[in-house]
Chain A
Amino acid sequence: MNGPVLLIVLPLLTAFLLPIIYRLMPLAGRLTGPLILVVTSIIGLTQLQHLGDDTLAIAMGGFPPPLGISLYIDRLALAFALAVTLGTLLLWPKASGDNPDSRPGSLSLILAGAGCGLALSGDLFNVYVFYELVAVATYGLVAGRGTTAACTASVRYLIISGFGAAMALIGIALIYNATGTLNLAHLAELAPSRLNNGQGLAAFVLLLIGFGVKAELFPVNTWVPEVYATASSRLTALLAGVVSKLALLIVLRLLVLLFPQPEAHLLMLVLGILGVVSGELAAWRARDLNRLLAYSSIGQLGIMFIAFSMPGQAAILAGLAVALHHLIAKPALFLLAERWGGSVQGLSGAAENSPVAAVLFILLSLSLIGVPPFPSFWAKLLVLLELARQAQPLYFLGAAVILAGAALEANYLFRVVSRLYTPDAAQPVPEPQRLPELARAGMLGAVLVASIFVISPINNQLEQLADQASDTQRYISTVNPRVTP
């Protein structure tokens, strides 16, 4: 019954003890982190299997909600928690070689545990604290790389994220003033009567600014290109792939449970459109691969915001499909960018030295653009179909923007591809891809290709997830908040 709690607590406990383990036995220290993540992933998988179609609420400390904090476990939450643990495991920071340092391991474990917490939590302030924990772990991991550029990018990220966090706190103050509770299920019950007004909308805007920082929402995404360009490629892959989706999940939950007002949806739509436009245009103009991929990431997340801005289960399904695809494709691209992250000009003829990587890059580019038979084609198609079904004319603009974005993506990604295959006599060919990065990227690419053949089962699974996610009544009845016992 308490299993999901271990998903959060086990990595945190190990993070506390890791410096001590390293002091006693450095070799054991190097292995402990990934080992614990393997154990946590196994626990997550068994929980997922155990859960079946049910939803579960766990009261922390034995105090029933809304007096205490409760966790809400449904398939969507467990799926994201699993994505976090597996992602951190796959993208575990490289060992620094001579000097055994427990810090990257500790920080990565904290990132994993906090990510699981974000996915599983059912209390508004608890979500805020988990979000801050993810943020601080990220600041540390980005800056820890050592270069001053990384520290500068990290402090810029910190300032923007700190501003967002303060905004979110003000939003929480507004919500608490209006309703007197922090439990998400209790808030969902009270929302139609207490939050369906100006105060509620203001709270939504503030929370959107706060949680949107990590979800690379326009306009609080100015930190993205610098951080992605200066952080290590594995960390960038983790941030772009997993962490941004976690923040998006939080925004989705808040939108579905607390703010069903049409103004809230419209705001998400507008910001999503602006995100797609700004991201894709900036990516088109970018001259180095790291920032090109970073801006492209902003654009893709804009598509997800547009998808989630539509009410209903089908829209959530479409958004989840795009998110799932991006979660696999983008980290693979960033892993390839470890060697190739420099200027696009300098990539001339790189395919000579790393033919496999070049083919992989082509596959991933096709997938990102949304070419059939890749799953992203089906995902973007779902989004476009759902957009066409809406009454508001602004949604058509969203559809047009997504299509134009795909065209731009095709242009700039294939510009890179043609560079890879055109050797330039004046420039040295970049070195071949390193095996660990290539292997990881290859694994993710293989998953992507394999998913082409199982799109129908994936569709069914995602439908179940979207069903549960959009079912507010079920959420409330599972948690069953009672102020007086």
Chain B
Amino acid sequence: MRRLSSLLFLAGLVTLIIAIFQPLPVGTATPAVGTAINHAAPEQVGAANLVTAVVLAYRGFDTLLELTILFTAAMAAGWVLDKPRNEARPDPDAGFILLAASDLLFPLLLILGLYVILHGHLTPGGGFQGGVVLALAFFLPLLARPGRRIDHQLFSLVEGLAGAAFIGIGLAAMLNGQAFLAPLFGTGELGALFSAGSLPLLYIAVGLKVGSELAGLLAHLAETEAVG
């Protein structure tokens, strides 16, 4: 009975969606606002990567909220999984390949992550992408040596301060007489590393926050008591 009703629901949804999307003009819509941003962004914001200009300048407020969602979810997950694994029976260390690889890859991942974060306004990438790489850099050693204790306090400190820094930069713009999250420090030379004003700073805050949050979250998941 349940299967039947589910299938009926699904069939109805399929017909509905086909009916909706018949005349959907994919490939022919002209984005008015997007084109305007593409014209205005190089002078207004100074970032060579226009998507970063949208993410951090034009829609920087959304990015702040996105960070907050990640913070909230990580905090909630940590709260839910609050029972750490029994100390007496840690998982054994991984094999030689993983041990050696994690030691080798840790600095490389750090460099890659920082590179992606710092060049977010010039090339594809940015705080979120680089932050994920940073999180993996800290998680890989944990996979190799599961018995090693992770310092959750440090992660929590970094993520709190990084988030506050993001808002702080936004408030600094407000104290400067401009609107909240207005870009500061001028636009600089297009394509240079030190361009686009306060945008690289914002992305550094984002990267650190995302990195520490995801690392903490993964560590919580790894440390939770064995299932079953």
Q: Report if A and B associate in a common complex.
A: yes
Chain A residues in the interface with B (C-beta under 8 A): 2, 5, 9, 12-13, 15-20, 23, 58-63, 66-69, 103, 106-107, 110, 113-114, 117, 125-126, 129-130, 132-133, 136-137, 139-140, 143-144, 151, 174, 176-178, 180-183, 186, 198-199, 202, 483-484
Q: Which of B27-71 contact A (CB under 8 A)?
A: 29-34, 36-37, 40, 44, 57-62, 64-66, 68-69, 71
In whole Å, how far is A260's beta carbon from the nearest beta carbon of chain B?
20
Known contacts A180-B30, A483-B33: does B156 contact A60 (CB below 8 Å)?
no
Fill in one digit per residue for B146-167: 1 if any A CB lies within 8 Å of its CB, else 0: 0000000100110111011001
Is A136 in contact with B73, judged by CB distance below 8 angstroms? yes
Given contacts A61-B57, A61-B60, A180-B31, contact A136 B65 (CB under 8 A): no
State the main secondary structure of chain B at its contact with A. Answer: helix
| B6-41, CB < 8 A from A | 16, 19-20, 23-26, 29-34, 36-37, 40
Given contacts A63-B58, A182-B33, A483-B32, contact A5 B180 (CB under 8 A): yes
Bound state CA distance, A106 and B68, in angstroms? 11
Contact of B75 among A69, A106, A198 (CB under 8 A): A106
A136 partner residues in chain B, CB cutoff 8 A = 69, 72-73, 76
Are B73 and A140 in contact, CB atoms less than 8 angstroms apart? Answer: yes
Q: Which 8 pairs across A and B sit closest by C-beta, in order of nearness?
A: A140-B76, A62-B182, A16-B163, A62-B179, A180-B32, A202-B20, A61-B181, A60-B61
* B161 touching A20, Cβ below 8 Å: yes
CA distance A69 to B65 in the complex (A): 13
CA distance in complex: A103, B62 (Å): 23
Main secondary structure of the interface of A (DSSP, over half): helix
Task: Tell me the minimal C-beta distance from B84 to chain A in angstroms.
Answer: 15
Interface residues on B, range: 35 or more
> Could you give 9 example pairs across A and B, Cβ below 8 Å?
A9-B170, A16-B167, A66-B33, A67-B40, A103-B75, A107-B72, A114-B65, A117-B65, A133-B68
A60 neighbours in B (Cβ, 8 Å): 60-61, 179-181
Complex Cα distance A103/B160, Å? 13
Number of A-B contacts (CB under 8 A): 155
Question: Does B36 contact A67, Cβ atoms closer than 8 Å?
Answer: yes
Q: How far is the CA of A69 from the CA of B54 in the complex (A)?
A: 11
With A20-B161, A103-B79, A136-B73 in contact, is A484–B57 under 8 Å at CB? no
Q: For the A-B complex with A103-B75, A177-B26, A199-B24 known, give 11 more contacts whose Cβ atoms are closer than 8 Å.
A: A23-B157, A60-B60, A61-B57, A61-B181, A110-B68, A110-B71, A125-B59, A139-B76, A177-B29, A202-B20, A484-B36
Chain B residues lying within 8 Å of A69, measured Cβ to Cβ, are 58-59, 61-62
